[in-house]
Chains A and B, each alone.
Chain A
Amino acid sequence: MRSKMKLDLSALATCFAIYAIIMMLMEAEVIGAFWQLNIVLICINIILAVSLNLITGFTGQFSIGHAGFMAVGAYVSAVFTVKLGMSFALAILAGAGAAAILGFAIGLPTLRLQGDYLAIATLGLGEIIRITILNIPYVGGASGLMGIPRYTNFTWAFFAMVITIFFIKNFINSSHGRACISIRENEIAAEAMGVDTTKYKVLAFTIGAAFAGVAGGLFAHYFYIAHPASFTFMKSFDILTMVVLGGLGSISGSITSAILLTFISAGLASYPEWRMVIYALLLIVLMIYRPQGLFGNKEISLKIFSRILGGGKHGTAQNK
């Protein structure tokens, strides 16, 4: 067990090292404005993908309404900073809280549904959230909520991402997380083993929604605007693609595919007419050759790196 703590600390140290390196490269202007934007976008996408993975990959509840929760986070946090003049940290928390409450309220009735039915219900709910926002003049309606100050920077996005990853990783590796995974594996058996399946489905949904709200808040405060068109079901599909591509039930998979897909769509930005074609082809090829996603349900971890470097010194603790 203590080796788990050691792994946690070294993972945290690695995160700080990555942060320092990227920060230095940004200061030295090796990374230009375009890639800076994409790095922040990567952090936001990782938060979205990892939080959806908790719902879809670990708990096995197929949800395609994630952009809806992101929208709630974006708008609520923007209202807090723009209209109420609150601090950014408080606004982000409020966005997360609002998304969590909505996730709970929506999860309670819809999580009785299974498989495709749940997917359709969440798809509809995501759209309902968007259309509702579209019709609230207080937040700008169809033209969006403008004049949001740019509070999000690389530091905010990066550490929000680190907190998300650690939160969900630690949750998954606890008894509560195992309860969620058991629902994915076999709901009847989970129930027979004393797991309150409804409670844990709703819990996973609520946590996932809260982090989508955080991502939404960061997103709105980076692009100066919260616009309903940013949160259509296409955005939900984007997030789902990252999760499926990385592997359902693999946090490191979600991280990798969020980085990969953000870079690919950024790299193809100068060929707008080809972008979607190449993007789609890439997905088709990957799905043919790796239908379980890049990582399946495995995790890459520091343990593996240390095994490669240090020659087979492995403990029993899991994950980074």
Chain B
Amino acid sequence: MALLKINKLTKEFGGLKAVSNFNMEINKGELIGLIGPNGAGKTTAFNLMTGVYEPTSGQIDFDGKSLLGLKPYQVTQQGIARTFQNIRLFSDLTVIDNVKIAYHFHVKYGIAEAVMRVGRYYPEEDVIEQKALECLKMFKLDDRRDEIARNLPYGEQRRLEIARALAAEPQLLLLDEPAAGMNPQETHELMEMIRWIRDELKLTILLIEHDMSLVMGVCERIYVLDYGSIIAAGTPLEIRSNPRVIEAYLGEEVH
């Protein structure tokens, strides 16, 4: 059964159809790419999936349950975590605190226990600390744990954002342009990392990307979005030779 199933999703902003008749099916363990020219509606689609926007019509089912009407934090609690196109870290906090916050909704101790530091407070805080450290280690950020997030170099901030999303222990990870602003070397490393995360953590990943080499190299299936609608879907090889995709990216041939 599909982990994420999107059926005829449409979002209108006034007269503008940002996303129309969007269909998508993602199976467990897949690594899917969503590409398209600027303004095609990729981020809008992400925002619809994560509850930031309410769709005008259509269905989103995750793990057999509808996500419609859920707030972003509830969507995350269902098991979907995301990163942002423009990095949104908790920039004045330390690296480890950034990651710790993502564990928040798994925490069971109450406010009274926290304030009096009794009961489940110490054991759970120990677990959070340990898990956060493991997560940082995975992204080679453990030696930066006490650094303030805004002081990290750009590439590490991107990595921290992915680490933080994984700390929420999702089933589905949505990456919005993870390689934006990275140099080819960093992009290559990121590509390796994304594949490794998927295999290691048995995750399902959907990523939006502009960098063709990254998408073609890492994704098993690709959806192409143009003017809010899916114009093609298939393996990287099929997409590469699809005339409609080439047209969307490079423009029509002159006859």
Contact = CB atoms under 8 A, between A and B. Distances in A.
A-B complex: 9 closest residue pairs judged by Cβ atoms: A174-B114, A185-B90, A194-B76, A194-B105, A189-B88, A175-B107, A191-B72, A182-B101, A193-B102
A189 B167 CA distance: 13
Interface string B49-68: 01010000000000000000
Contacts of A193: 73, 76, 81, 101-102, 104, 164-165, 168
Interface string B38-56: 0000000000001010000
A181 B122 contact: no
Contact of A170 (B71, B101, B115): B115
A177 B109 CA distance: 12
18 contacts: A1-B129, A170-B114, A170-B117, A171-B111, A174-B109, A175-B107, A177-B114, A179-B104, A182-B101, A185-B93, A186-B88, A190-B90, A191-B73, A192-B50, A193-B102, A194-B73, A195-B101, A195-B105
Interface string A184-214: 0110111111111100000100000000000
A97 to B, nearest CB: 16
B84 A189 contact: yes
Contacts of B93: 181-182, 185
A81 to B, nearest CB: 27
Interface in B144-174: 164-165, 168
A191 B164 CA distance: 13
Given A1-B122, A192-B82, 11 more contacts: A5-B117, A170-B117, A178-B104, A189-B89, A191-B72, A192-B81, A193-B164, A194-B76, A195-B73, A195-B105, A203-B111
Interface of A: 1-2, 4-5, 8, 166-167, 170-171, 174-179, 181-182, 185-186, 188-197, 203, 297
A171 B115 contact: yes
Dominant SS among interface residues on chain A: helix
B84 A178 contact: no
A190 B114 contact: no
Contact of B90 (A5, A175, A182): A182
B121 interface: yes
B98 to A, nearest CB: 9
Contacts of A2: 122
Given A191-B71, A191-B72, A176 B88 contact: no
